[in-house]
Structure 1
């Protein structure tokens, strides 16, 4: 069997997949680059293996596909299976940050500069898939991460399909198709702990899935505007989506419960910072009009990501968000 195959994979399903080798320019840390695509430790669409490889199952424009990515001696090897294999291999460089420009980033704070120095392999992924990032982001609205991860895990395992290739019948699953999402009964959303508001937002999104995927041809800000036309999708959800689908370096997660306080604490010692203060502190990393070259994309999301990686977080004083479980009501 291929090295690092997820536990539970049947031996007879280990047929070789299509392969592509790619040499990134500069350092590349697979865990940092692909980590944002993982929705919790039990994400059925994502596995990080002890050998350093990463497995992902995606629903591509060409159909379901499984991708294994491993780095060795400065080269990345992607191996893919299923109808979406060719699409996944074609997308591989951008998924690993080939479209990103980390060298254009200029740290303006010591904590950011140190984090960048310690994490030279950080690049921003660009998956090329909107719905794949939008749906779990909607599930994460106004609830704890544990609740959102549980909902994603339950819904994908129950209504998705086993990933093709070596992971078939194992621990990897492809998320449901748009039509399948649309047909999930109301009581199943309830059992997964998803309230009517979030479920309705997802149902509205999957009904116009084609239009949303067209946003990949748009700049990140324009893509966010298209997403926010749908009721239930605001700036936080659209930013969380395009950060992954587009590799948007300037999309700030405005409306996040914890991020303003973390940024405020790291850059100004202000643990009570709100969105307005956070945006003011991140202004040196914004685009045109903030001292950068005309037309250069802003870098506020990258700066925030580096702050999170720095470990400079305020000591916890406020209680955690109350966890709810509507599935038990």
Structure 2
């Protein structure tokens, strides 16, 4: 089954930067992204499917494949970030010269909203307290272990079935490079994945996520920012973001979570968007001390 829709993005829309957060860096078994071409495999309420977004000039073509084709194409505008509402953001951004400049420079970057919570939650849990290289290596291994072929011609794998994850003993995750603490969080989340997917909005999803042992505000924010397109979701507890915000907004080389939230308060409603803009602009605080080592839990 296939279904196609035509979408009209706004002037200046940035296809690649908008969709890049939906995929793991370097290589994602569940999706691909190149200039003007995006694929994403998903388990929808209607069944498995894959979505293809192709850009040609000023138009986007959204094509769904498989039993989930209708669900994915109906949601294609949100996945492409075209439902992201920036109406009140320029006025807020004008209060700080750097934010105002970044808002103009990256005005075509929108926040996607996939409606796919559990898939993004897997990646966020794997990213807890480890380097990005470790996390993405574990993510790719897990996707290949649990993955089933996705509908469509792109050769993608479907994200793991939560029931299959929940039924897997924790020691089976060790070869992926995932220790017991993160594995237990994954297993707890998989047990309630169906309820998480039925959350009405970002606030409810955040409450339910943070009620699960092993999932805190950082993980919840990482999830709802792309699952619900929550522009206000701030990753409290991040190793780098408080320093980035403190440096970018106040010229302070180091910042705490409390200082970060204080500096972001004038942008309430778009606090997470400001953090994303700082990252897009390459803003980073001066670095002191050694970097976090890259480890392999699979060898422990």
Structure 2 Cα separation of the partners of residues 175 and 222 of structure 1: 23
- Equivalent of residue 53 in structure 1, options 34, 37, 44: 37
Instruction: Kindly tell me the number of residue pairs found equivalent between the two proteins.
Output: 297
Structure 2 Cα separation of the partners of residues 47 and 193 of structure 1: 24
Displacement of 1:314 in angstroms is 2.2
The normalised TM-score by structure 2 is 0.95
Partner of 2:96: 109
Structure 1 Cα separation of the partners of residues 74 and 284 of structure 2: 38
Contact 2:232 2:270 in 1 (8 A): yes
Structure 2 Cα separation of the partners of residues 129 and 48 of structure 1: 18
- Equivalent of residue 145 in structure 1, options 121, 132, 150: 132
Runs of 4+ in structure 1 deviating by more than 4 angstroms, as ranges, are: none
Contact 1:130 1:245 in 2 (8 A): yes
Structure 1 residues 35-93: Cα deviation after superposition (integer angstroms, max 9, x where no partner): 111112111112112x4211111111112211111222221111121111111101101
Structure 2 gaps of 5+ residues are none
- 1:75-224 superposed matches below 5 A: 75-105=59-89, 106-107=92-93, 108-167=95-154, 170=155, 172-215=156-199, 217-218=200-201, 220-224=202-206
Partner of 1:34: 19
Displacement of 1:315 in angstroms is 3.3
Structure 2 Cα separation of the partners of residues 225 and 176 of structure 1: 23
RMSD over aligned Cα, in angstroms?
1.5
Contact 2:36 2:56 in 1 (8 A): no
Partner of 1:285: 267
Structure 1 gaps of 5+ residues are 1-15, 287-297
Structure 1 Cα separation of the partners of residues 204 and 169 of structure 2: 33
Contact 2:254 2:285 in 1 (8 A): no
Indicate yes or no: 2:294 matched with 1:323: yes
* Greater Cα shift, 23-32 or 104-113: 23-32
Indicate yes or no: 2:259 matched with 1:312: no
The normalised TM-score by structure 1 is 0.87
Displacement of 1:103 in angstroms is 2.9
Partner of 1:227: 209
Contact 1:32 1:122 in 2 (8 A): yes
Partner of 1:295: none
Partner of 1:7: none
Indicate yes or no: 2:18 matched with 1:19: no
Displacement of 1:274 in angstroms is 1.1
Contact 2:119 2:160 in 1 (8 A): no
Structure 1 Cα separation of the partners of residues 39 and 46 of structure 2: 18
Contact 1:285 1:299 in 2 (8 A): yes
Structure 2 Cα separation of the partners of residues 224 and 31 of structure 1: 27
